[in-house]
Structure 1
Amino acid sequence: MTQTLTRTLPCLMGSAAILAASFAAPAQAAWTGGDDQPTSPLACDASTVAPDAGSYNGGTVTGAQPSDTLRVVDVPKLVGIGYFNATSAGVAEAAAELDGVEATTDGPAQANIDDQITLIDNYITSGVGGILYAANDPVAIAPVLRKALEAGIHVVGYDSDAEPDARQWFVNPAQFNGVAKTLMDELAQQIGADGSFAIVTSTFTTPNQARWIAEMDAYQAKCYPEMEWLETVEAQEDNILSFNQAMTLINKYGEDMDGLVGMTSVATPAAAEAVTQADLCGEVSVMGLATPNAIRPYIKSGCMEDAVLWNPVDMGYAALHVLKAAVDGTLEPGAAEVEAGRLGTLQIINGSEVLLGAPTVFNAENVDDFDF
């Protein structure tokens, strides 16, 4: 279901009132932007239940050849943004401390699944021993990852998963329902249990964001039924488009919108910039997923109270440790935990997911304690 949404293009450095152009883009009304998978909203209070490891449901590598040097390529959704610069730094840190491991990062310039598939296919042909990835599309990327497994290449995902049988393990930065609960609880604290909000996401097919949104929808219905979810719009992983989409929502809903939620590390600071330029700090709350460096100026200015994320350096670090453990045979199907260097012992959930940990809330008290 789509509608026509008019978007305006203000200059990022100019006044929010200066509108340069407008064009049509798809939007949605009743649909939130989540996927159609089953949800499991957590309790409305602080109680949680630790998930079971479950039966292994990942893929199997065939014909892997031992080698003195394990060559690994890290293929994130895109390169050149702070979030994936941080995951790449974590991969490099792990490679430096693991014996016989060489790792490089090579991702597309934009969050384009076709470019990502081409890159992975090229590395299968050139010959690597391991592939790390953060998927732009869980279904579209699966065939080339299965091809890698069949070629004897170990495959581990992080941040954004593929179909489970297309990789061996996936480093889950946080449980989807846990992220959803944290986001909705923080949002409700800011705009009230009957407030209205809109979301700026990357694409409706990006697996982790669609999963978070689906869980947010379920948790909101259960715990904040009076909240009004106005709309969810796409903005790729693009700073200018995220700003434009946030400004469009501001112009469209006016006083009827109490909050803006960014589902990417790009969208959240871009939404804060739009609110700042619109002179609506204190009237429209901004929160979401973001790196502390990106949202620090807006927390310092008072235009944001907080943002939610995990440490992406740790995620990249964990991903390479998990891949090396799979290569060495110290991590096998059926395991309930895995050792990950300085991170210690990480829990395995949902059959083949390595849980990085609970999300962190960055606010005025702790934002200066992080640098990524």
Structure 2
Amino acid sequence: MKKLTVLLAATALSGTAMAADPWDGRDDLPTSPLACDGTPATVAAKDYDGGQPTGAPDLSGQDITLIDVPKLVGIGYFAATTEGMRQAAEELGNVNVTTDGPTEANIDDQITFIDNYITQGVNGVLFAANDPVAIAPVLKRALGEGIHVVGYDANSEPDAREWFVNQAEFNGIGKALIDAMAAEIGEDGKFAIVTSTFTTPNQARWIAEMQDYQEACFPNMEWLETVEAQEDNILSFNQANTLINKYGDDLDGIFGMTSVATPASAEAVTQAGVCGDTAVVGLATPNAMKPYVASGCVKSVVLWNPVDLGYAAVYATRAVVDGNLAPGSTSVEAGRLGTLQVVNGSEILLGAPFVYTADNIDDFDF
């Protein structure tokens, strides 16, 4: 069977039809897999389930200072969200936002950064969580100090923040990933996954939705293994290379669940000389994938725009401070992005993913 190498960036199962084997990489929350035939889902209204700050000062229209603490700094994805935040702050004119955080995706270090900025005094905390449960206490401390808290990219427990800007709905990403892999390796192909950690919330959500959608729609596909790579480029490459060597011809495809793991997996496939035999499907930023798209080893990249994600997070925070985004709101105005919808009680949906191909990928620089 001829296989093409593709990347789907929009944002794992063990054993055929995921029998009773233990599953690594998903969370244990309920899923809502989309229909196999693409029938749109019906979304039920949900009450606001976020937290609220205690005694937050009235700073409507006044200058505010925000600190952004992503999973880690020094990678293209979060450099792009930072740029979006800068653009929003410049447009608004009354927001000062600074990005600071750990150089590795370590939840303990992330907590320390947030804790230090709470002590120093800020008006708002933006975050992308490395662990939804472990980060909750320090975010609740921020709320208790009257500091506004808004998440993006990777959520916390809902009551530990006011709002979460969701880049795309998890079941939509899960369906898109599985559909792309099935199109490339066939409905009985075998694949593995390279993720960050088994507790990283957005990846765990995507994987859970992927698993349940795959079981329902492509039951003959076989998920071989899930491995962690800590959002580290060298480790991601080594993990992908190990999968290639371990499974040989049985490995029809690799999912990369992070903006680090996907290009590293594409590089491992390239160096192993199996480009065109082992598909790469996953999440990444355009700049990281341009060499693989140019070589023809990767055909398309599907991803939300992380610049827009950071931009939306700042606009949402400004709206919260100004009283324009509150429990019960159904939408929020976000500058050039227009009106963004509130879903799932306290989430703001950025919108549909964007598809990068050889025809347009050079138009983007992040």
State the SS of the aligned residue for 2:134.
coil
Q: Could you tell me which residue of structure 1 aligns to residue 221 of structure 2?
A: 227
For residue 51 of structure 1, report the CA deviation from its aligned partner: 2.6
State the SS of the aligned residue for 1:178.
helix
Distance in 2 of aligned mates of 1:355 and 1:135: 17
Q: TM-score, normalised by structure 1?
A: 0.91
For residue 132 of structure 1, report the CA deviation from its aligned partner: 0.3
Matching residue within 147, 155, 158 for 2:141:
147
Consecutive unaligned residues in structure 2, runs of 5 or more: 1-19
For residue 107 of structure 1, report the CA deviation from its aligned partner: 1.1
Q: Could you tell me which residue of structure 1 aligns to residue 87 of structure 2?
A: 93
Q: Could you tell me which residue of structure 1 aligns to residue 291 of structure 2?
A: 297
Distance in 1 of aligned mates of 2:252 and 2:24: 17
Distance in 1 of aligned mates of 2:24 and 2:188: 17
Matching residue within 185, 195, 200 for 2:189:
195
State the SS of the aligned residue for 1:280.
coil
Q: Could you tell me which residue of structure 2 aligns to residue 354 of structure 1?
A: 348
Distance in 2 of aligned mates of 1:43 and 1:63: 45
1:104-139 Cα offsets, whole Å, 9 max, x none, are: 000111111111101101111110000000000000
Matching residue within 334, 340, 362 for 1:340:
334
Q: TM-score, normalised by structure 2?
A: 0.92
1:34-57 Cα offsets, whole Å, 9 max, x none, are: 111111100112221253442100
1:142-172 Cα offsets, whole Å, 9 max, x none, are: 0000000010000000000000000000000
Distance in 2 of aligned mates of 1:51 and 1:371: 35
Matching residue within 28, 36, 45 for 1:36:
28
State the SS of the aligned residue for 2:54.
coil
Contact kept? 1:78, 1:108, Cα under 8 Å: yes
Residues 271/29 of structure 1: CA separation in 2 closer, same or farther (3 Å cut): farther
Distance in 2 of aligned mates of 1:341 and 1:53: 25
1:276-318 Cα offsets, whole Å, 9 max, x none, are: 1001111111120111111111111111122321100000000
Q: Could you tell me which residue of structure 2 aligns to residue 104 of structure 1?
A: 98
Matching residue within 233, 254, 263 for 1:260:
254
State the SS of the aligned residue for 1:54.
coil
1:148-204 Cα offsets, whole Å, 9 max, x none, are: 001000000000000000000000000000000111111111111111100000000
Distance in 2 of aligned mates of 1:330 and 1:297: 43
Q: Which shifted more, 302-311 or 277-286?
A: 302-311
Residues 29/244 of structure 1: CA separation in 2 closer, same or farther (3 Å cut): farther
1:58 has 2:50 as partner: yes
1:241 has 2:235 as partner: yes
Distance in 2 of aligned mates of 1:52 and 1:87: 30
The residue correspondences of 1:119-134 to structure 2 (distance < 5 A) are 119-134=113-128
Matching residue within 272, 279, 286 for 1:285:
279
RMSD: 1.3
Residue type at the aligned position of 1:287? V
Residue type at the aligned position of 1:217? Q
Aligned length: 345
For residue 246 of structure 1, report the CA deviation from its aligned partner: 0.1
1:368 has 2:354 as partner: no
Residues 83/348 of structure 1: CA separation in 2 closer, same or farther (3 Å cut): same
Residue type at the aligned position of 2:27? D
Consecutive unaligned residues in structure 1, runs of 5 or more: 1-27
Q: Could you tell me which residue of structure 2 aligns to residue 270 of structure 1?
A: 264
1:320 has 2:282 as partner: no
1:5-25 Cα offsets, whole Å, 9 max, x none, are: xxxxxxxxxxxxxxxxxxxxx
Q: Could you tell me which residue of structure 2 aligns to residue 174 of structure 1?
A: 168
Residue type at the aligned position of 1:44? C
State the identity %: 68
Contact kept? 2:35, 2:41, Cα under 8 Å: no
Q: Which shifted more, 124-133 or 94-103?
A: 94-103
